[in-house]
């Protein structure tokens, strides 16, 4: 029996999920459907654009590219939902700035007019994880009720990432120094969320660090992995494919450069949710991860 879709959104994929971690894309669509959330393709979307790359080089290009993506969703008459913190940073922030700055909006619309588009400011932008936590849309109880294979007996560390919750003055997530709402969602899946030192530290890739100084980025990642392993976690979950890339592929690079092996499974929250909802690892493309997730999968099977 098909699930009644109570809410529908324009689904912004970003770059890394469809190109490197298709399980993030597949799991987001499949798990959301079980929660009454329909994710519709945002056809013609481009890069968000990446805040660390574009935003630090040319703000006008950053504004215009993000505004174009917003226009595509406005044409659909749908709010945007996405699964990446960097995409959230760019698209949410540009939407927020354009709605509150007439001069900036007029300048962006002059650029968009060249491709017959106009930003109107008629939609909002949401991270999918925040929709799951929001009682008006979904809520922790509904997430728990969708679980058919509880992740009982597993310990899962949580990584929030940098761009989702800050700057605090513009966001609406509450406590940004020691948040617990993602742990609540993990607990709803039957897993035990574990706390670890420097939980809110960057994954190492943020701000484009990975692109210009890989070893420095890996040093940050390595510190986080040490802390997570010391806390006894069986896996790490995050809500950003770029963070997933840094923790997952980064472990291979840490082994190559530092000679340290952690073998810590890294799962986007939607992949974790998919497992708890009874989906197979193959359905979630978990076999495409750089770090073998067998140790975690065996615990839940």
Residue 297 has a CB neighbour count (10 Å cut-off) of: 16
Lookup: tokens for 145: 């009720």
Q: How far is CA 50 from CA 130, 269, 283, in A?
A: 21, 21, 28
Predicted confidence at residue 169, as pLDDT, reads 78
Helices H, strands E: what count in the chain? 13, 8
Q: Which of 49-53, 212-216, 229-233 has the highest mean pLDDT?
A: 229-233
* Residues paired with residue 10 on neighbouring β-strands, in sequence order: 40, 80
Residue pLDDT, tens place only, 1-36: 345 678 999 999 999 999 999 999 999 999 999 999
* Main-chain phi, psi angles of 112, to 5 degrees: -65, -25
Average confidence (pLDDT) over 57-62: 84
* Residues paired with residue 8 on neighbouring β-strands, in sequence order: 38
Q: Show the domains of the chain with their CATH numbers.
A: 7-128 (1.20.1050.140), 148-300 (3.40.50.11810)
Is the Cβ–Cβ distance between 156 and 233 less than 8 Å?
yes
- The pTM (predicted TM-score) of the whole model is 0.94
Average confidence (pLDDT) over 85-101: 96
Helix (H, G, I), strand (E, B) or coil at 42: coil
Q: How far is CA 125 from CA 62, 67, 107, 171, in A?
A: 16, 12, 21, 12
Residue pLDDT, tens place only, 153-206: 999 999 999 989 887 777 778 888 899 999 999 999 999 999 999 999 999 987
């Amino acid at each position: 029996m098909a699930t009644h879709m109570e809410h529908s959104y324009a689904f912004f994929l970003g770059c890394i999920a469809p190109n490197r971690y298709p399980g993030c894309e597949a799991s987001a669509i499949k798990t959301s459907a079980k929660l009454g959330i329909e994710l519709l393709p945002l056809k013609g979307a481009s890069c968000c654009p990446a805040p660390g790359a574009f935003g630090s080089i040319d703000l006008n290009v950053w504004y215009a590219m993000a505004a174009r993506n917003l226009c595509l969703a406005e044409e659909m008459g749908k709010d945007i939902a996405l699964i990446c913190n960097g995409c959230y940073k760019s698209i949410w922030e540009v939407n927020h700035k354009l709605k509150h700055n007439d001069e900036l909006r007029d300048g962006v619309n002059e650029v968009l007019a060249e491709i017959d588009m106009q930003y109107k400011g008629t939609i909002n932008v949401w991270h999918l994880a925040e929709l799951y936590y929001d009682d008006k849309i979904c809520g922790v109880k509904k997430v728990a009720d969708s679980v058919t294979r509880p992740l009982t007996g597993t310990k899962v560390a949580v990584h929030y990432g940098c761009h989702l919750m800050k700057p605090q003055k513009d966001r609406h997530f509450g406590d940004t120094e020691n948040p617990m709402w993602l742990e609540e969602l993990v607990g709803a899946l039957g897993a035990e969320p574990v706390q670890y030192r420097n939980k809110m530290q960057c994954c190492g890739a943020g701000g484009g660090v990975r692109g210009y100084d890989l070893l420095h980025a890996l040093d940050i990642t390595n510190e986080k992995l040490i802390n997570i392993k010391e806390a006894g976690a069986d896996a790490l979950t995050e809500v950003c494919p770029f963070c997933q890339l840094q923790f997952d592929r980064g472990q291979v690079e840490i082994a190559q450069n530092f000679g340290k092996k952690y073998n810590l499974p890294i799962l986007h929250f939607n992949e974790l949710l998919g497992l708890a909802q009874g989906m197979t690892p193959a359905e979630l493309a978990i076999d495409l991860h750089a770090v073998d997730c067998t140790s975690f999968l065996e615990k839940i099977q």
